[in-house]
Amino acid sequence: MNKRVVVAMSGGVDSSVTVALLKEEGFDVIGITMQIWPEDSKVERFGGCCSIEAAEDARRVANKIDIPHYMLNFRKIFEEKVIDYFCEEYKEGRTPNPCIRCNQLIKFDILLKKARELDADFIATGHYARIEYSEERKRYLLKRGIDEKKDQSYVLYGMTQEQLAHTLMPLGSFTKNQTREMANKIGLSVADKQESQEICFIPDNDYGRFLRERFKNITKQGSIVNKEGKVLGIHQGVIFYTIGQRKGLRISSPRPLYVIDINKEKNEIAVGNNDDLFKKELTADNLNFILFDKLTESIKVKAKIRYLSPKADAVVYPLKDERVKVVFDKPERAVTPGQAVVFYDGDLVVGGGTILEGRLL
Amino acid sequence: MRFVYLDHAATTPTDPEVVKEMLPCFTESFGNPSTLYKIGREAKKAITLARDKVAVAIGAKSEEIIFTSGGTESDNFALKGVAFANEQKGKHIITSSVEHHAVLETCKFLAKNGFEITYLPVDKYGIVDPEDVRKAVTDKTILVSVMQANNEVGTIEPIAETGKIVKEKGIYFHTDAVQAIGAVPVNVNDLNVDLLALSAHKFYGPKGVGALYIRKGTRMMSLINGGHQERRRRAGTENVPGIVGLGKAIELAVSKMEERSKQLTFLRDKLINGILDNIENVRLNGHPEKRLPNNANFSFEFVEGESMLLNLDLVGVAVSSGSACTSDTLEPSHVLSAMKVPIEIAHGSVRFTLGKNTTEEDIDYVLEVLPPIIKKLRQMSPLREGLDLNV
Residues B159-202: tens digit of each pLDDT? 999 999 999 999 999 999 999 999 999 999 999 999 999 999 99
| Predicted confidence (pLDDT) at residue A252 exceeds the cutoff of 90 | no
Look at chain B and report how many structural domains it folds into.
2
| Predicted confidence (pLDDT) at residue A115 exceeds the cutoff of 80 | yes
Q: Are residues B190 and B59 in the same domain?
A: yes
Q: Are residues B103 and B249 in the same domain?
A: yes
Is residue B57 in some structural domain? yes
Q: Could you tell me which of B146, B209, B186, B184 has the C-alpha nearest to residue B11?
A: B209
**Residue among B311, B328, B329 whose CB faces A118 most closely:** B311
Q: Are residues B101 and B220 in the same domain?
A: yes
Residue A193: what pLDDT? 77
Is residue B391 in some structural domain? no
Which residues of B are less than 8 Å from A71 in CB distance? Answer: 328
| Predicted confidence (pLDDT) at residue A49 exceeds the cutoff of 80 | no
B326 touches chain A (CB under 8 A): no
> B117-128: per-residue pLDDT in tens?
999 999 999 999
Distances (CA, A) of B188 to A100, B54, B220: 61, 12, 18
| Predicted confidence (pLDDT) at residue B78 exceeds the cutoff of 60 | yes
Residues 259-288, chain B: which have Cβ within 8 Å of A?
none
- Cβ–Cβ below 8 Å for A113 and B377: no
- How confident is residue A284, by pLDDT bands cut at 50, 70 and 90? very high
- Cβ–Cβ below 8 Å for A73 and B310: no
Q: Are residues B288 and B212 in the same domain?
A: no
Residue B330: what pLDDT? 59
What are the DSSP calls for A97-158, one per residue? Answer: -HHHHHIIIIIIIIIHHHHHHTT-SEEE---SEEEEEETTTTEEEEEE-SSTTT--GGGGTT
A71 touches chain B (CB under 8 A): yes
Query: What region, left, alpha or beta, does residue A66 occupy, with left being phi > 0 and alpha being psi -120 to 50 degrees?
Result: left
Indicate the average pLDDT of chain A: 90
Is residue B371 in some structural domain? yes
- Please give the single-letter amino acid code of residue B279: I
**Residue among B306, B311, B313 whose CB faces A72 most closely:** B306
Q: Are residues B271 and B240 in the same domain?
A: no
In 3-state terms chain A splits into helix, strand, coil percentages (rounded to 5) of: 30, 30, 40
Which residues of A are less than 8 Å from B376 in CB distance? Answer: 117, 119
* C-alpha–C-alpha distance, residues A274 and A334, integer Å: 9
Which residues of A are less than 8 Å from B378 in CB distance? Answer: none
Q: Could you tell me which of B142, B180, B140, B141 has the C-alpha nearest to residue B160?
A: B180
What are the DSSP calls for A270-328, one per residue? Answer: EEE-GGGGEEEEEEEEEEEESSSSS--S-EEEEEESSTTSPPEEEEEEEETTTEEEEEE
Q: Are residues B24 and B138 in the same domain?
A: yes
Q: What is the 3-state secondary structure (H, E, C) of B157-181?
A: CCHHHHHHHHHHCCCEEEEECCCCC
- Cβ–Cβ below 8 Å for A117 and B310: yes
Q: Are residues B370 and B239 in the same domain?
A: no
> Residue range A57-80: average pLDDT?
91
| Predicted confidence (pLDDT) at residue B382 exceeds the cutoff of 80 | no
Distances (CA, A) of A40 to A37, A76, B331: 8, 11, 13
Residue B166: what pLDDT? 97
Domain that holds residue B161: 16-255
User: Which CATH number does the domain housing residue B97 bear?
Assistant: 3.40.640.10
Residue A361: what pLDDT? 53
B184 touches chain A (CB under 8 A): no
A40 touches chain B (CB under 8 A): no
Specify the DSSP class assigned to residue B57: H
Q: Which position has the higher pLDDT, A343 or A191?
A: A343
* C-alpha–C-alpha distance, residues A357 and B16, integer Å: 72
| Predicted confidence (pLDDT) at residue B301 exceeds the cutoff of 50 | yes
- How confident is residue A91, by pLDDT bands cut at 50, 70 and 90? confident
* C-alpha–C-alpha distance, residues A358 and A327, integer Å: 10
Q: Are residues B8 and B22 in the same domain?
A: no
A73 touches chain B (CB under 8 A): yes
Is residue B35 in some structural domain? yes
Q: Are residues B249 and B323 in the same domain?
A: no
| Predicted confidence (pLDDT) at residue A50 exceeds the cutoff of 80 | no
| Predicted confidence (pLDDT) at residue A214 exceeds the cutoff of 90 | no
Q: Could you tell me which of B188, B221, B232, B243 has the C-alpha nearest to residue B44?
A: B243
Residues 361-390, chain B: which have Cβ within 8 Å of A?
376-377, 380
Residue A51: what pLDDT? 61
Which residue on chain A is closest to B307 by alpha carbon? A117
- Cβ–Cβ below 8 Å for B329 and A117: no
Residue A269: what pLDDT? 93
What are the DSSP calls for B197-245, one per residue? Answer: EEEGGGGTS-TT-EEEEE-TT-----SS-SSSGGGGTS-S---HHHHHH
- CA–CA min distance B317, chain A (Å): 14
- Hey, of A67, A117, A118, A166, which one would you mutate to test binding to chain B, going by the most B CBs within 10 A of its CB? A117
Q: Are residues B272 and B217 in the same domain?
A: no
Which segment of A113-122, A216-225, A262-271 scores lowest on mean pLDDT? A216-225
Strand order in the sheet with A28-35: A69-73, A28-35, A4-8, A122-124, A167-168
- CA–CA min distance A246, chain B (Å): 42
Q: What pairing do the DSSP bridges indicate for beta strands B295-300 and B349-353?
A: antiparallel
Residue A54: what pLDDT? 77
Q: Are residues B262 and B211 in the same domain?
A: no
Is residue B56 in some structural domain? yes
DSSP run (H or E) holding A260 = strand A258-263
For residue A279, the cross-strand partners are A332
Is residue B389 in some structural domain? no
- CA–CA min distance A102, chain B (Å): 19
* C-alpha–C-alpha distance, residues A180 and A193, integer Å: 9
Q: Are residues B188 and B113 in the same domain?
A: yes
Topology agreement, domain A219-272 and domain A277-359: no
- 3 state DSSP class of A6: strand
Q: What is the share, in percent, of chain B residues with pLDDT greater than 90? A: 91
Which residues of B are less than 8 Å from A72 in CB distance? Answer: 306
Assess whether B325 carries a catalytic annotation: yes
**Residue among B313, B377, B380 whose CB faces A68 most closely:** B313
Distances (CA, A) of B206 to A129, B232, B264: 50, 24, 21
- Cβ–Cβ below 8 Å for A71 and B313: no
**Residue among B311, B328, B380 whose CB faces A73 most closely:** B328
Indicate the average pLDDT of chain B: 94
Residue A196: what pLDDT? 67
> Residue range A306-333: average pLDDT?
94
Which residues of A are less than 8 Å from B328 in CB distance? Answer: 35, 71, 73
Which residues of B are less than 8 Å from A30 in CB distance? Answer: 314
Signed CA dihedral, A200, A202, A207, A211: sign only:
negative
A4-192 has which fold? Answer: Rossmann fold (3.40.50)
| Predicted confidence (pLDDT) at residue B311 exceeds the cutoff of 50 | yes
> B244-300: per-residue pLDDT in tens?
999 999 999 999 999 999 999 999 999 999 999 999 999 999 999 999 999 999 999
A189 touches chain B (CB under 8 A): no
Is residue B184 in some structural domain? yes
Which residues of A are less than 8 Å from B380 in CB distance? Answer: 113, 116-117
B310 touches chain A (CB under 8 A): yes
The CATH code for residues A277-359 is: 2.40.30.10
Q: What pairing do the DSSP bridges indicate for beta strands B92-96 and B116-120?
A: parallel
Domains of chain A by residue range: 4-192, 219-272, 277-359
Residue A213: what pLDDT? 83
Residues of A with active-site annotation: 102, 200
A219-272 has which fold? Answer: SH3 type barrels. (2.30.30)
Of B207, B222, B255, the one marking the end of a domain is B255
Number of Cβ pairs < 8 A linking chain A and chain B: 29
Q: Which position has the higher pLDDT, B381 or A225?
A: A225
Which residues of B are less than 8 Å from A119 in CB distance? Answer: 311, 314, 376
Q: Which of B325, B367, B369, B383 is catalytic?
A: B325
- How confident is residue A204, by pLDDT bands cut at 50, 70 and 90? confident
**Residue among B313, B329, B380 whose CB faces A116 most closely:** B380
A41 touches chain B (CB under 8 A): no
Residue A52: what pLDDT? 67
Of B255, B285, B320, the one marking the end of a domain is B255
CB of A124 within 8 A of CB of A169?
yes
- CA–CA min distance A253, chain B (Å): 52
> Residue range A51-72: average pLDDT?
88
